[in-house]
Structure 1
Amino acid sequence: MTAMPTEALGLPRGRDLTRDDLDAMPDDGYRYELIDGILIVSPAPRRVHQRAVGNLYLALRQSCPADLEVLLAPFDVALSDDTVMQPDLLVASRSATTERDLPSAPLLAIEVLSPSTRSFDLLLKKDRLRRAGCPHYWVVDPGEPSILAWELADGEYRETAHVIGDDTFTVEQPLPLSVVPAELGN
């Protein structure tokens, strides 16, 4: 994750940023997201990250029911005017998405950890998705390798699975899936 002075990007100072400000960001290979009006800039991911995202996408697509769809970043999840995220993967109802974005919390948000985004994904993004009511949040660590899954219950995330290495990660909600974390980065 990179911190950039707002003036370097031509952004206003002294106020929270909005989606309109985000729309003015350059198409330069960085991922620009807003969390509660604060700009988060992430570099292009590494190859192992992209492999894990791609392999998990294929597995999710195979088990995805017709009324849901799996989307890859960059695709906006617009939780409010000052919060627009791009989870690495998301699952949402087909009827909930627009051509531009998902204007509400997804059914499932998945982040694949990178050295530059690790704390952001495990703390800030997870908390903001919890507050938005995202029912399921998963974090994949291709370095360990592992998958950690949480489910929203009474407004808080509770861990439902933590699978490491060659063990099989198996869930039925929000869709049936079985994957081996060690195989995702290959």
Structure 2
Amino acid sequence: MTPSSSWYHQSIVLNVGSLFKGCLKDKSCRVFTAPLDVFLSEEEDVVQPDVFLVCDKTRMTSKGCNGAPDLVIEVLSPSTAFKDRNIKKEKYEKHGVKEYWIIDPAYRMVEVFYLTENRYTAQEFRDNGEIYSSQFPFITLSMDLIFAED
């Protein structure tokens, strides 16, 4: 059995999910958090992103999400960092996830990967500013609120 994530990891997941929910008011997109299966394709492994956004509600079934979400967020932990930065990133890029965020609690940093011509380009956000999405202009999140511990 895989050990559960830390309380701080879970706090960040909850913060991001809640912040996204606020950004999505009156939008067709919905936010989901783990554990919920995402089936990238029939031949690929099933993934369970920490947080993901789906704008086409027909992709959602009782079993999870069929096909690539529009945006995926992974919160790094020591046991998942390699997989999130390499294996999952490659899968998300290959299957057309428009935007992939990696949140690094140890460095209070967020890397945002934008899919452009089937390849990811990265932008790094640090300190106490805001993160914005170029793919989804209605999404802007405060770094302070993402990393809030209360």
| TM-score (ref. length: structure 1) | 0.73
- 2:14 partner letter: G
Corresponding residue for residue 62 of structure 1: 22
The change in CA–CA distance for 1:156 and 1:172 in structure 2 (over 3 A counts) is closer
1:51 to 8, 11, 22: 11
Alignment coverage as a number of residue pairs = 145
Name the CA shift for 1:178/1:82 in 2 (closer, same or farther; >3 Å): closer
Which range moved further: 87-96 or 107-116? 87-96
Q: Distance in 1 between matches of 2:48 and 2:111?
A: 19
Q: CA deviation at 1:90?
A: 0.4
Alignment of 1:21-170 (within 5 A): 30=2, 43-64=3-24, 65-79=26-40, 80-92=42-54, 93-159=56-122, 161-170=123-132
Q: CA deviation at 1:46?
A: 0.5
- TM-align CA RMSD: 1.6
Greater mean alpha carbon deviation, residues 170-179 or residues 82-91 = 170-179
Q: Is the 8 A contact 1:136 1:174 kept in 2?
A: no
CA contact (8 A) 1:70 1:89 kept: yes
Residue segments in structure 2 that go unaligned for 5+ positions in a row: none
Structure 2 residue aligned with 1:173: 135
Percent of aligned positions that are identical = 26
Q: How many angstroms apart in 1 are the aligned matches of 2:16 and 2:93?
A: 22
Gaps of 5+ in 1: 1-27, 31-42
Task: Tell me the distance in 2 between the aligned counterparts of 1:61 and 1:177.
Answer: 10
> Structure 2 CA distance, aligned partners of 1:45 and 1:175?
31
Higher mean Cα deviation, 116-125 or 61-70? 61-70
Q: Distance in 2 between matches of 1:127 and 1:99?
A: 26
* 8 Å contact kept, 2:98–2:135: no
* TM-aligned CA deviation for residue 177 of structure 1: 2.2
Which stretch has the larger CA shift, 75-84 or 53-62? 75-84
Deviations 1:124-145 (Å, cap 9, x if unpaired)?
A: 1000111111111011111110
